[in-house]
Amino acid sequence: MKKYEILVLVGGMLMLGSCSYKHAYQPIAFSKLDTTENYEALTQRYAMGEENEFTPNAKQKELYLEVNQGVEIPNVSNVRELGGIITQDQRVIKSGHFYRSGHLGKLKKKHFKMLEQYTITQVIDLRTDREIKKHPDHLPTTIQYYNEQAFEDSEDMFSKAKKEVLKGRVTVEESNKAVEEFYGVYVLDNPQKIREIVLRMLDHDEATLFHCSAGKDRTGMIGAILLSILNVDRETIMEEYLRSNNERIDDVSGRMKLAKFGKFIFPKIDYEVIENFSWIKPNYLEAMFAAIEAKYGSMDNYIQEGLSITKEQRQKYIEKYTVILK
């Protein structure tokens, strides 16, 4: 699949993000970085796939959940922070620096104080122009706002993709392949832009919130790269990534109600295709890592050669944002 075709298909699905549906064709993978009660509820509500062999140690789970307890912003979905995560050299990411979420288009003025409470002074919006036009972020004037697009936006491209999906012209296999290839394109096509995004966060002394539309794909990739720079192991990065499925249960379930009407309007639509874009899957992030390793040999090389972050710079960031685990 050519780069243009990948962006056409995935770009169109970014537009469909506000009208996603859930149809129970495939098991959904959820993060174990969750409370026991919540995780058990998820396993009961949805058919689980093959059991994930990774089990976060008790200390990791305790620290991560302690940091994220009560972290929320009204009318903003998929909100959490990256503090409390243990690195490979037994350090812990400090809390109050890196927040991730869905778009801030429905944030109300009365809740601006929540951003101040979390000391968020910078917002990085990863969305395209078309997405922003639909749901522009609603922010106080005191917030520094940056729109950082790592791939080209084209209205004709997105419109075409949306029509193809709604008319049932995209198969499940094509949608899976498109998402996997998009994950590779996103981090490799313009590494200078990825560098700009992560350094904007790492060089900022106060808290940053970064987001896309649903806070799962582009936000998930940037989060994974950020955690990699801070020397977090791949399994823990995957668990943090999958938290988006745990966080978005209600969002996706609410949109299920629209599915029964969709068949009348778009009789040929394949809901399994829509499902592939409604949730995230381990193979999506694995595809990103595989693409990086295919070109650079390792994530460490990507950080040093692709993102032009020297070993010395990286170590300074590690010391700045992590503390020794006690």
Global pTM reads: 0.87
DSSP state of 209: E
pLDDT band at 111 (very low <50, low <70, confident <90, very high): very high
Label the pairing between strands 120-125 and 322-324. Answer: unpaired
* Sheet with 80-81, side-by-side order of all strands: 80-81, 98-101, 207-211, 120-125, 144-147
What topology does CATH give the domain 3-324?
Answer: Protein-Tyrosine Phosphatase; Chain A (3.90.190)
In 3D space, the residue among 279, 250, 53, 82 whose CA is nearest the CA of residue 175 turns out to be 279
Percentage above 70 pLDDT, the chain:
77
Label the pairing between strands 98-101 and 207-211. Answer: parallel
pLDDT of residue 284: 94
pLDDT of residue 163: 73
* Mean pLDDT lowest among 47-56, 154-163, 267-276, 297-306: 47-56
pLDDT of residue 70: 86
Q: Where are the domains of the chain?
A: 3-324
In 3D space, the residue among 12, 18, 9 whose CA is nearest the CA of residue 181 turns out to be 9
pLDDT of residue 105: 98
pLDDT band at 24 (very low <50, low <70, confident <90, very high): very low
| Separation CA 165–CA 274 (nearest Å) | 8
Residue type, 260: K
Q: Residue 306 pLDDT more than 70?
A: yes
| Separation CA 66–CA 225 (nearest Å) | 23
In 3D space, the residue among 120, 130, 142 whose CA is nearest the CA of residue 12 turns out to be 130
| Separation CA 300–CA 229 (nearest Å) | 8
pLDDT, mean over the chain: 84
